[in-house]
Amino acid sequence: MSKIAVVDYGMGNLRSVAKALEHVAGDNAVVVTSDAAVIADAERVVFPGQGAARDCMAHLRERDLIGPVKQAAAEKPFLGICMGLQVLMTHSRENGGVDCMGVFAGEVAYFGDSIAREENGELLKIPHMGWNTVRHAQEHPLWRGIEDNSRFYFVHSYYVKPQDASLAAGVTHYGIDFVSAIARDNVFAIQAHPEKSAADGLQLLKNFVGWNGGH
């Protein structure tokens, strides 16, 4: 049995993420925690989130969690969800500009600065909210059992622009093609909410529970 830590920094849809993980965890323990020692002791770490980047970083600082989260991302199977993807970048344009954790070089951009608001005669709303397809940009163990261009549930106004194009693990179209998932070594992070994405989302979480952090 291994321990899966869900990082609690005072924001994010923790209950639904934890419940979805428990559904697929088998004998593994799912622990929602803001304790750095518990995060360090866990075999796998999930970093979920929603809301604004400035608030996310402020809450992480208040709880002295930036170091432990970055350490987890360096050492063990790590899954970022929604804001848990965005704050892995260097900088976000949200809230007038916010420095993020800088695990990967790149910025978080606003859809309104990037997309024509109308496509195929349809007004594109911001936030991008609802079901959309994710094209696999690379083979990855977390895509196992999930068909290319499967649909996942999104709620966001900002999207990541990693400097290294090879980080892209998934791409989604909403006015533009944007990176909706990244992967490097033991880190996988996705803009969509797998805990709200029906069978394919649960499959991704199940794949994470069994993932050793390699390719």
Other C-beta atoms lying within 10 Å of the C-beta of residue 113: 8
Q: Is 122 a catalytic residue?
A: no
Q: Does the annotation count 193 as an active-site position?
A: yes
Catalytic residue among 56, 82, 107, 156: 82
> Helices in 76-171 by DSSP H: which ranges?
83-86
Backbone angles phi, psi at 70, to 5 degrees: -65, -40
Catalytic residue among 94, 140, 156, 195: 195
| Number of other CB atoms surrounding residue 197 within 10 Å | 23
Location of structure tokens 């949200």 = 94
Number of H-type helices and E-type strands within the chain: 6, 15
DSSP state of 34: -
User: Which residues are designated catalytic?
Assistant: 82, 193, 195
